[in-house]
Amino acid sequence: MQVLINHLIQLQELTLVRDEQKVSLAGAYTAQLDEAIREMKGRLPAGVAAQFDRLHVKHMSVMSPMAEGLCAMCGMKLPISLVQAVRLERELQSCPTCARILYAADAAPKRVSTKTLRGEPRKMGIARFSCQDLMLPDMAAETKEGAIGDLAAALEKAGFVNRADRLVESAMKREAIISTAVDHGIAFPHVRGVEGGGLALALGTSRKGIKWDGARGKPAKIIVFMTIPSAASAFYLKLLAGLAETFASADARKALMDESDPAGLWRGLQKLTRSTIK
């Protein structure tokens, strides 16, 4: 049963990657992804494939991680008997509220929740997902794994997430499916299923550039690393589209690359995304 669950998680990931391709100015792989999705569905038992398709009509994400006894997608607290059945993995289990297929994810990295101070102004735009501490201008990393590691470490140090090492591992597995590099020397590595709070974003620049497969031979010079709760998958696509629109401008890219300290990089990112990320 664990093999089947892993197969379904991989199938869902492919469908989400296809959606990413459509909004990130890098849709060249859509046909290949469609074929891979058809092939993976063809290897499922007929009843399970039909269940996946029925759920996918209603939900962008068919699979829901279960962590701390909750369905991550709808937030429903699950009965203890169901929690145990999901962990035993003897047969597929569904959330009684949203009907998504559940799988255990207790060991996954988590978003570290932070309380909003009373009287603190409501955050707007990109500030809802990031802060100055997550800006890394002119990174020294020379590989994509090194760059992702530096950005993940910044997220952990700033108290946004735990288990930076697991984030790097998950991000590299995502890169192995299809590169997150797009045109103009931009890369959008990310990890889904980081529960416990909202979406978080760290950004780094590299004047030298970092070799990144899929970037049409151009090194990545602006790297945006995001951790995404399962329930925010649809919103992540809107955020990705806004960032892609921002970085389509050569002037915007140059403005970020010219910043040499975290404060300047953060001010620049806020200014540039004011009209693209609401």
Q: Which domains does the chain have, with CATH numbers?
A: 2-104 (1.10.287.1490), 125-272 (3.40.930.10)
Closest CA to 163 of 183, 149, 144, 173: 149
The percentage of residues in the chain with a pLDDT greater than 70, rounded to a whole number, is: 90
Q: What is the mean pLDDT of residues 56-74?
A: 91
The predicted-structure confidence for 230-251, as pLDDT tens digits, reads as follows: 888 888 989 999 999 999 999 9
In sequence order, which residues have a C-beta less than 8 Å from that of residue 134 and are 6 or more positions away?
151, 154, 155, 158, 160, 200, 201, 202, 203
Residues 74-123 pLDDT 10s? 999 999 999 999 999 999 999 999 999 999 976 556 666 554 434 556 77
Between 116 and 254, the higher pLDDT residue: 254
Separation CA 19–CA 256 (nearest Å): 27
Other C-beta atoms lying within 10 Å of the C-beta of residue 11: 23
Cβ atoms of residues 255 and 205 within 8 Å: no
Consecutive H or E run containing 255: helix 250-257
Per-residue model confidence (pLDDT) at position 170: 92
pLDDT over 60 at 263, yes or no? yes
Looking at per-residue pLDDT, the higher value among 27 and 200 belongs to: 200
**106-110, 136-140, 159-163, 262-266: which range is least confident on average?**
106-110
Which phi and psi (to 5°) does residue 180 adopt?
Answer: -90, 5
pLDDT of residue 195: 82
Q: Which of helix, strand or coil describes residue 86?
A: helix
Cβ–Cβ under 8 Å, residues 142 and 201? no
Q: What pLDDT is stored for residue 118 in this prediction?
A: 46
* pTM recorded for the entire structure: 0.82
Q: Where residue 213 falls among pLDDT bands split at 50, 70, 90?
A: confident
Per-residue pLDDT band for 25 (boundaries 50, 70, 90) equals: low
5, 103 Cβ separation under 8 angstroms: yes
Nearest-10 crossing angle of helices 30-42, 46-58: 140
Mean pLDDT of the chain: 89
Q: Which pLDDT score is estimated for 117?
A: 39
* Residue 215 predicted with pLDDT over 80: no
